[in-house]
Structure 1
Amino acid sequence: MTFASLGLIDPLLHTLERLDYKTPTPVQAQAIPAVLAGRDLMAAAQTGTGKTAGFALPLLHRLVSEGPPVNANSVRVLVLVPTRELAEQVHASFREYGEGLPLRTYAVYGGVSINPQMMALRKGVDVLVATPGRLLDLHRQNAVKFTQVQALVLDEADRMLDLGFANELNAVFASLPKRRQTLLFSATFSDEIRAMAAKLLDKPLSIEVSPRNTTVKSVKQWVVPVDKKRKSELFCHLLKKRRWGQVLVFVKTRKGVEQLVETLLAMKISADSIHGDKPQASRQRALDSFKAGEVKILVATDVAARGLDIDDLPQVVNFDLPIIAEDYIHRIGRTGRAGATGEAISLVCADEVNLLSAIETLTKQTLVRHEEPGFEPDHRVPMTNGAGQVLKKPKKPKVPKSSGKGVPSNWVGFDDQPAGRGRRGQARNAAAPAGRKPAAKPRGR
């Protein structure tokens, strides 16, 4: 199968040839014809399998081939994403695929000034990639109108719900035209997302190019048990021992991110961070430096799990396991992209065993454990069975120490003395001279 056989217009085919896109991925092969036909779509695909092109290419085709030009402050295709990083990534894909087409694309998100965004929207844009909060701010100020929206894309909608965007999403949905094409693309679909899809989509085509909630096979996954207080030491040890090049490290909290970066910098290791407290400009600089190879270690919270597209990233390290099991799939999906191989290493302490069990249940696999010599944890990480159960070690029965003749050592004289009545009898027997009976105890009156 070729992209030409899918019915895309020549300008898009020329761009794909220049980008060396030879054959469609499975999700692209199924999604592109459906989107071109105007079908609503619900597609589940592992991250890194080309799902962005699966909706961007056919939507660009339709924008060029159908409909009137975009009006002032209006938008024709609206793409909603959970994070600023993903907004930039998706917008970059639209811009790259649509190079040479007479279309305007733009991305809006919070954390930066709203005024330049309002100015850019005055002439209208054909494709607008947006985070929900900033989109609503612009809509309420009449900087963007939804009357011309002909297609809505929800990319990583489960993450938007995880981040608390449910109310914002409902407000956007209520403002959109009833007649439109709606596309849901994600690596994972929770039950809440499926319920949302039932309300938003009209007789959708469902595509699952891989089993639900599975990880990319090209990513080697393993776990290193360790005590919590030694995680930083272990990470630095593995970094040196295994001679890792670039590493993307996920840490649970913003404070933890900065502490690890500080430790690495003190060791003269180039490192930078991405988290919600950093201004967007700083986050972008850190990402650009990492992509350019100027920074060796990029430490991030889950804000970066979806939206980082880095070529040939060899390692992802889960310094802390994610609270939400689905985020594990997105984290490790930053490596092993587009058929390349990668490694995902998780440093797991005892109090994370339930998080580990949830990940193994979701992915239907038990992660291999490798203890690092010298870092064996004092607080052992209980074993799991991959089915949501934490296995507790059975307690060994207490066996009294033997005296050497098969009886407990506290049974003094049992083997070589005649039985007396209790301890007193044993004591009298032991004290009596050989060949004489022990004296009878006088009875009291």
Structure 2
Amino acid sequence: MKLYGPKAGGTWPSTGVSLGGGGGNLITSVNGQTGAVTLTAADVGALTQSAADTRYARTNVTARSDLGIYVPPGWGQRWRAARAAAGTAPARIVTVGGSATQGFYASNPHTKSWPGVVRTALQAAHGDGGSGFMSSSMSATILQAGDPTALAAWQAAGAIVGQTGTWTQGGSKYGPGVCYLYSDVPGSSMTFTVRGSTVKIYTVAGGTRPPFTYSIDGATAVTVNQTTGSASIQTTTVSGLSSGTHTVTITVGPTATTGAYLSVCGVSGENAAGVIVHNLALAGARSETYGNNASTALNAVWNGGVDFPADLVVFTAGPNDAAANTAGDVWAANVAKYLKAVRDTGAADGSTDVMILLPHLGTHDTTNFKYQDYAVRARVLAEVYGAACVDMWTLGRNSWRYWSDLGYWGTNAGTGASGSDSVHPSDAGFAFMADTILPLLTA
């Protein structure tokens, strides 16, 4: 077993401990012993980290198989290499799943969801890669009917896409975030707030599509003509911006006609280096939402595959499958289809690291009792794909009450606070999820 020192800024007691060079501070000797080192009680005491070091740094665990967590030997090679090089190039994480990953009901789904907390911690340690992708699904069009209280809270927090005019949710699972909003009303607009020196606008092109304009930080609008022909995702990239926060307003072009739709998937803000966490989850998503392995598909290929690359993908769809009575084998096949798109489509060489994460089921399903079937198959899939597997349901004692007593369940009537929701965490619940995952990403 190799023992590694604390993260940057941490210290070891100096007595008898020699640290090697390179990232991670490899311990080369203990009290003069090298090679096969026998640790005495005093030696172990000398390896105690300070309280400041223990939250996001651990000894290097090359493999784990303990309560709710499985990590195979050698996992994370691509992610660790990308993380180590994040000072000069982006290290990318993509998360997919349902509302418990999108951030319902955090006080701010971008910063207080578990992907948001993970983003903040990793960027503090390895560099700010930008805000990542902001989906058009975080909009009044989608949230007004089912979550008006959450919508109001998130609007106050500046976490919602701004809208004017008429927008409708598309039925197909296109593009990053497997969601898009469309409009053929000239002047209808959407405004995204992102952070990064490069802005990427994702639209569904092909067929009859109107031109659109974009304006960044109130500057003069720029007209973009969309491609015609077969349906595809069009990426409009704007570089050379400051690394700070920008407002991006996208407007249906003045020459739009009825039935010629602008379809917007979302906007990403990215920097040239640092950690980027793209949260591509969608409330209500099931495994089949991402389970299309066709090389021409516009959904799976664009959510962690070669067209929207990731060094690590985290698959979390499951609770909505259980509520819909999806059979375990069907769930597993859908996960495999998604992983096929990530690992073995186009020029993909299979190196992308994978984590399968099962959110705590809570009381989201009290009829079909399928979730344990997913847990069993998730572990097998993890072994087949060399993936890590984290089961929050097991870590939560398979008990809604246990998490409730800890204040980990949220409420849409006052987002971020503890409540009695059936499956969506509070800020404290999301923080627990992030604190469970981060040691695996920082080891």
TM normalised by structure 1 equals 0.34
More helix by share: 1
In terms of fraction of residues, the more strand-rich structure is 2
